[in-house]
């Protein structure tokens, strides 16, 4: 997989430009609250500023996070009204939908099917609940594999409409507003992809989710790891580190701490990323570290593939997948 296939540079750069403009409109004069590390609740140390957002790093668990951060209501308004959110939901998704289906969602659906086969009780396949289901591509692919359509939780009006047009059951709410009565009865497996880094309060999100879960239910999610190779090498110049979208960059150790704090049990924490080296290749001018600058300029394709495999297998990719459950 190549970054350009799922994030075409011209489209992605336009999205980031619109987001930077929206940052001033939606967050410029908004009250900001000082907080602690979202993973371990330790005070962080200032690392850098980007687009008028300050990022700190936790000295205990190495989480990178925005602090202080605007109040939650500002983010709700941003995600439902802003030009960049509209662009993401329309142009970006439309232009990349089929490439992402083939490169991301079909493999993701197979991975989730495999996880459910490992953890689901015999003869009791859980109802999958897709939190932040977007265009519903994952839901469609998992339906095709397993024969049972997931329920989609999607607060964005445009995306929720697209999901309904594709015959998916939609709960048009933020997860924090969902009630037990909104959900089907029986065993459940909640899934969430590339959402966790956006959350205003990850601990609150997990506690709300835990309140919707029964003992034995699963939560499977992916998010960005701040100790991943490309983020560490690019740091404030990383396109992944872009407010107001990405507020929390946990890592394999930090996420285990957070899950324990919120009453969930970590079952698997892996970093199955495929793009770290390719992202560095595409961002050579922003690399300050001499080793990585030399490596991406001179390594053969085989060497790059070998390093990517090592990075993923050893826990140092910036793409992280977590399987957890409610005891």
CATH code: domain of residue 256: 3.40.50.150
pLDDT in tens, the chain (327 residues): 677 787 888 888 999 899 999 999 999 999 999 999 999 999 999 999 999 999 999 999 999 999 999 999 999 899 888 999 888 877 887 778 788 888 889 999 999 999 999 998 766 789 999 999 988 999 999 999 988 899 999 988 888 998 999 999 999 999 999 999 999 999 999 999 999 999 999 999 999 999 999 999 999 999 999 999 999 999 999 999 999 999 999 999 999 999 999 999 999 999 999 999 999 999 999 999 999 999 999 999 999 999 999 999 999 999 999 999 999
Residue 54 contacts residue 243 (beta carbons within 8 Å): no
Q: With 0-12 CB in 10 A as exposed, 13-18 as middle and 19+ as buried, what is 86?
A: middle
Number of domains in the chain: 1
Strand segments (E) across 7-157: 32-33, 44-50, 53-58, 64-66, 69-70, 127-131, 151-153
3 state SS for 189-246: EEEEECCHHHCCCHHHHHHHHHHHCCCCCEEEEEEEECCCHHHHHHHHHCCCCCCCCC
The whole-model pTM stands at 0.92
For 268, the enclosing helix (H) or strand (E) is strand 265-270
Q: For residue 38, what are the domain limits?
A: 3-325
């Amino acid at each position: 997989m190549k970054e350009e296939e799922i994030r075409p540079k011209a489209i992605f750069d336009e999205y980031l430009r619109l987001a930077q403009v929206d940052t001033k409109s939606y967050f410029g004069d908004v009250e900001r609250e000082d907080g602690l590390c979202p993973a371990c609740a330790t005070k962080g140390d200032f690392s850098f500023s980007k687009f008028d957002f300050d990022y700190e790093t936790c000295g205990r668990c190495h989480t990178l996070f925005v602090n202080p951060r605007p109040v939650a209501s500002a983010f709700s308004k941003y995600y439902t009204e802003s030009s960049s959110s509209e662009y993401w939901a329309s142009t970006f998704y439309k232009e990349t939908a089929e490439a992402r289906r083939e490169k991301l969602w079909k493999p993701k659906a197979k991975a989730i099917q495999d996880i459910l086969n490992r953890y689901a009780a015999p003869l009791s396949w859980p109802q999958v609940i897709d939190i932040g289901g977007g265009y519903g591509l994952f839901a469609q692919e998992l339906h095709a594999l397993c024969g049972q359509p997931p329920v989609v939780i999607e607060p964005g009006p445009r995306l929720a409409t697209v999901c309904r047009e594709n015959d998916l059951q939609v709960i048009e709410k933020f997860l924090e507003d969902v009630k037990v009565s909104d959900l089907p009865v029986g065993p459940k497996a909640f899934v969430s992809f590339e959402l966790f880094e956006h959350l205003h309060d990850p601990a609150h999100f997990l506690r709300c989710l835990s309140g919707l879960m029964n003992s034995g239910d699963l939560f499977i999610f992916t998010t960005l790891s701040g100790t991943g190779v490309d983020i560490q090498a690019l740091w404030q110049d990383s396109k992944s580190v872009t407010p107001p979208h990405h507020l929390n960059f946990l890592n394999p150790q930090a996420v285990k701490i957070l899950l324990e704090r919120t009453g969930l049990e970590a079952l698997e924490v892996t970093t199955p990323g495929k793009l770290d080296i390719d992202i560095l290749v595409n961002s050579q001018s922003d690399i300050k570290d001499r080793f990585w600058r030399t490596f991406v300029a001179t390594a053969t394709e085989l060497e790059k593939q070998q390093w990517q495999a090592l990075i993923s297998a050893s826990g140092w990719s910036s793409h992280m997948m977590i399987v957890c459950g409610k005891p």
